[in-house]
Chain A
Amino acid sequence: MSETSRPAVHPDRTGHAGYPGYTEYHPRWYRAPVSTYWWLQRRSYLIFILRELSSVFVAWFVVFLLLLIRAVSQGNEEYQQFLAWAATPWVVVLNLVAFLFVVLHAITWLNLTPAAIVVRLRGRRVPASWIAASAYLGWAAVSVFLAWLVLTR
């Protein structure tokens, strides 16, 4: 079929009964090109991408925890070896960086709890600051409990 014999507008899609009348060809959307390094342009963007990168260190923590669990279940000698390995400089630096990232995750996550949880008491909405404060209290309580669990062994 030649170009000229083809209608520019599809016959059954002309503007009737509220149809806007589509052209045969889909338009190309205009999208402004975004730099690969868009997250370096603003401080808030950088913090966003750092927050997202905390996922890498959460995964590292699981690896570290599993190595600990394996060492403890293999015996005291392996457990002591694990502690000595964990004291080598590169592991300490990695764990320090991981700790900072995980704290960034915890703070940004808990700050969002008022957006995720709406509590009503006697028909009134509990202020966001109360919900955030109770999230932080929960964090403190869990931390104290886990520290107690480990340190009283």
Chain B
Amino acid sequence: MAKRSTEPLLWLLFSAGGVLAALFVPVLLFLFGLAFPLGWISAPDHDGLLALLRHPLTVIGAFFLCLLLLVHAAHRFRYALYDGLQIKHLNELISVLCYGGAIVGSVFAGYLLWVVP
């Protein structure tokens, strides 16, 4: 069997992550990164947030959100280095670090979501 390139799969995951990054990240970053810490909107109670975090759909959704966002970021950052800085001789090392980082981050996300009380 001919060796298949992983490139189409990576572009597919990149696109899925790109959609999620566009739709989900701005509002969440605005709320948790700016509005709550700066007191523009009062932050939600711990109990309510924990109940939300315990819901199976939140766990599954947050896991796939983290996974796809990390693969998206890894793929795009890899190409930003490739095109922007033209570091082509380090291509393999950069790929390993980018996708490896995404895999490690996803496993860590899975662990953190698994141990939610």
Contacts and interface: CB of A to CB of B under 8 A. Distances in A.
Interface of A: 34, 36, 39, 49, 52-56, 58-59, 61-66, 68-70, 72-73, 75-76, 79-80, 83, 86-87, 91-92, 95-96, 98-99, 102-103, 105-106, 109-110, 116, 138-139, 142-143, 146-147, 149-151, 153
Contacts of A102: 21, 25-26, 29
A121 B12 CA distance: 26
The contact size tier of chain B is 35 or more
Given A52-B80, A76-B46, A96 B34 contact: yes
Given A58-B73, A73-B112, A139-B23, 17 more contacts: A58-B21, A58-B69, A62-B70, A64-B32, A69-B116, A72-B116, A73-B117, A75-B46, A76-B47, A86-B37, A87-B37, A87-B38, A92-B37, A95-B33, A102-B25, A142-B23, A151-B31
A65 B67 CA distance: 12
A88 B27 CA distance: 20
B99 interface: no
A151 B27 CA distance: 12
A65 B25 CA distance: 10
Consensus secondary structure, chain A interface: helix
